[in-house]
Structure 1
Amino acid sequence: MEKSSVETLFGWLDETTTIIQQHLNEPYLESLTIAMEFLFYEGAPEDMDDILNRKLHSALANIDFHSYEAEDVRKAIQLAILKGMKDSTQQQHVMTPESVGLIVGYLADKLTKDKEELRVFDLVSGTANLLTTVLGQLKQNVTAYASEVDPTLIQLSVINANLQKKEIEFFHQDSLRPFLIDPVDLIVADFPVGYYPDEIVANEYQLKADTGNSYAHHLFIEQSLRYIKDAGYLILVVPEFLFDSDQSDKLHAYLQEHAHIIGVIRLPETAFKSEKNAKSILVLQKKSASTSAPKQPLLVQMPSFKNANAMADILGQMNRWFESYQH
């Protein structure tokens, strides 16, 4: 059977990364960044030793990178990153599942299709897979921004965006600190779940905990609402238990004051490693003088992504809901 272009490119990335990994004794994800940079610049940095340089140049001769579509590039890189994350011990090295990214992209397209120009921001962009998946589904002229604190992930995401020819402006910072950015039309994000360690920064937020550590995922929702325009949309991948936790009353009151809940889409547990990791997609619109809550929010329980018939049914229901939803 002939290999697909995604498999061929992944195979090249994987083999080249392994060569670098063995030669430099670096972890897989760091070696993958070097392999991707070599592919993008079609050559090595000046300080690379001759033996590795020769090996990489002979690998480069075996691939015609310019013949690949951006979406195939994204998928091949995603497979290589996933392989690296399996070996990684770092808890923040987890990628948004492909199927979830596609649903976020579908929602983004539906909510913004009447806009010709669009500014999009992912506050916790990781390897930029979620953001580039969404950008692949938007048809208008988009300006994209992303922020990530982890140095390995931001290096990966910058070169990932370059190889896909996606223009994204990156911020390397703690995403709960202030940004030098004007408010945007759309925020997409898959929030890390857990406690936020910096109490001084947390003190700047209404959703800080009354005692003890604050929930990072609550602070991120408040931060997102600071950087979205009035009437702008937020499509957020959040923990399933978001409204059932000990601090959820405060979150609920905050959202009622600042946003309309447009929808909640429960994702199938099969999309995640375990039940306790299960997530939902929360769709919000920032309140303004011209907005009102939908008559009936979009409430959906997603079937298993492997069940094509049930998926088609649900997408049909969602399409009908969007037809009746007046922005």
Structure 2
Amino acid sequence: MEQQTEQLFTWLDTTTNMIVEKEDVPYLEALIAASELLFYRDLPEDLDEDYEKRLTEQLNQAQLNEYPLEARRKAMQLAILKGMKGSTQQHHYITPDTIGMFMGYLLQRFMGDTNKFSVFDPACGSANLLISVINQLENKQIKAYGSEVDPTLIRLAYSNTNLQEREIEYFHQDSLKPILLEPVDTVVSDLPVGFYPDDDTASAYDLKAEEGHSFAHHLFIEQSLKYTKEGGYLFFVVPSSLFESEQKDQLQQFLKQHAHIVGLLQLPETMFKHEQMRKSIFVLQKKGENTRDPRKVLLADLPSFKDVQAMDSILMQINQWFENER
């Protein structure tokens, strides 16, 4: 599959650069056009003859159905990463594949025999995490939703979804404002970290700061719980220092009231340049009539994903935890 990923990335990159050169648009804008060209196989009208000829030649070199879904996702991911290189914006960031795979594994374990469920990512970005998780749940019927405020990222999410030939419903909006969405069974998200600038919107939240701006990641946790069914599970990528901030007491009180803390899995240190940038996977269950706190919270310090033996040992511990909990 690596060869197919590389082949498709090369096609996307070459076509994107042609569009950049001719139309003088940013790389990511041109990437959206290139991926739409591959999906719809339809050239815009009124192109000059030479440009039309070059794009037609490019189109004749690639057929989407020749590539497996994961090759399409990874090729698109590589192209997006290339387009984002040098971007200083915090939210222009793609969740690494290893995290997506591990979150997909956890989702599978927690959902067990449930074959039909809904999943929502309130900070979906270009939808790489959401699609990565869905691709691992092959035998399940999943209704997926994503929300994203950034106009370029939401268009990349649409392009990504088209190339996957999947159905995902997207909301292009600030996800901390009301969303026209029925509560879902699960939430999966790599939460935006930092301060949320809109104090008016934040004022409606229990987790608003007493003074100054509120933490966006805290508000996202509250909003996600609001849009989750009772008993539903939530899987977040959060800063490992989540319970060390000045607003930790407020967050703990809120969670005690509305959710069960099910697990906290520290991601491998090797994934992060500095210890203070380290992240964890945080698993919650929304409280409901028949829910209870786990006998024991699932805690683990994950080894490098490349260390197969250490990883097998952790997975055995996680499986043991499930046996004791069920």
**TM-score, normalised with respect to structure 1:** 0.96
C-alpha contact (below 8 Å) 1:147/1:175 kept by paired residues: yes
Deviates more, 1:143-152 or 1:299-308: 299-308
Separation in structure 1 between the aligned mates of residue 186 and residue 2 of structure 2, nearest angstrom? 37
Deviates more, 1:157-166 or 1:86-95: 86-95
Which residue is equivalent to 1:280?
280
The ranges of structure 1 where at least 4 consecutive aligned residues each deviate by more than 4 angstroms after the TM superposition are: 47-50
Separation in structure 1 between the aligned mates of residue 321 and residue 135 of structure 2, nearest angstrom? 23
Which residue is equivalent to 2:151?
151
What is the CA distance between 1:69 and its match in structure 2? 1.0
C-alpha contact (below 8 Å) 1:43/1:57 kept by paired residues: no
Separation in structure 2 between the aligned mates of residue 123 and residue 53 of structure 1, nearest angstrom? 39
Q: Which amino acid aligns with 1:90?
A: Q
Separation in structure 2 between the aligned mates of residue 275 and residue 127 of structure 1, nearest angstrom? 26
Separation in structure 1 between the aligned mates of residue 294 and residue 48 of structure 2, nearest angstrom? 61
Which residue is equivalent to 2:206?
206
Which residue is equivalent to 1:105?
104
Separation in structure 2 between the aligned mates of residue 226 and residue 35 of structure 1, nearest angstrom? 38
Which residue is equivalent to 2:240?
240
Counting aligned pairs with the same residue, the percent is: 52
CA 1:7 to 1:142, structure 2 compared with 1: closer, same or farther past 3 Å? same
C-alpha contact (below 8 Å) 2:145/2:168 kept by paired residues: yes
Which residue is equivalent to 2:21?
22
Which residue is equivalent to 2:91?
92
C-alpha contact (below 8 Å) 1:260/1:292 kept by paired residues: yes
What is the CA distance between 1:49 and its match in structure 2? 4.6
Q: Which amino acid aligns with 1:56?
A: L
What is the CA distance between 1:273 and its match in structure 2? 4.2
Which residue is equivalent to 2:229?
229
After superposition, what is the alpha-carbon deviation per residue over 1:218-255, rounded to whole angstroms, capped at 9, x for unaligned?
00000001000000000011111110001011000100
What is the CA distance between 1:114 and its match in structure 2? 2.2
What is the CA distance between 1:26 and its match in structure 2? 1.6
Separation in structure 2 between the aligned mates of residue 150 and residue 158 of structure 1, nearest angstrom? 13
Return 5+ residue gaps in structure 1 as ranges.
none
After superposition, what is the alpha-carbon deviation per residue over 1:167-199, rounded to whole angstroms, capped at 9, x for unaligned?
100000000000111100000000110000001
Aligned residues: 325
Return 5+ residue gaps in structure 2 as ranges.
none
Q: Give 3-state SS (helix, strand or coil) of 1:280's partner.
A: strand
Q: Give 3-state SS (helix, strand or coil) of 2:85's partner.
A: helix
What is the correspondence of 1:286-297 to structure 2 with a 5 Å cutoff?
A: 286-297=286-297
Q: Which amino acid aligns with 2:125?
A: G
After superposition, what is the alpha-carbon deviation per residue over 1:35-89, rounded to whole angstroms, capped at 9, x for unaligned?
1011011122335554433222111111132111111111111111111111434
Q: Give 3-state SS (helix, strand or coil) of 2:29's partner.
A: helix
RMSD after superposition: 1.4
CA 1:315 to 1:69, structure 2 compared with 1: closer, same or farther past 3 Å? same
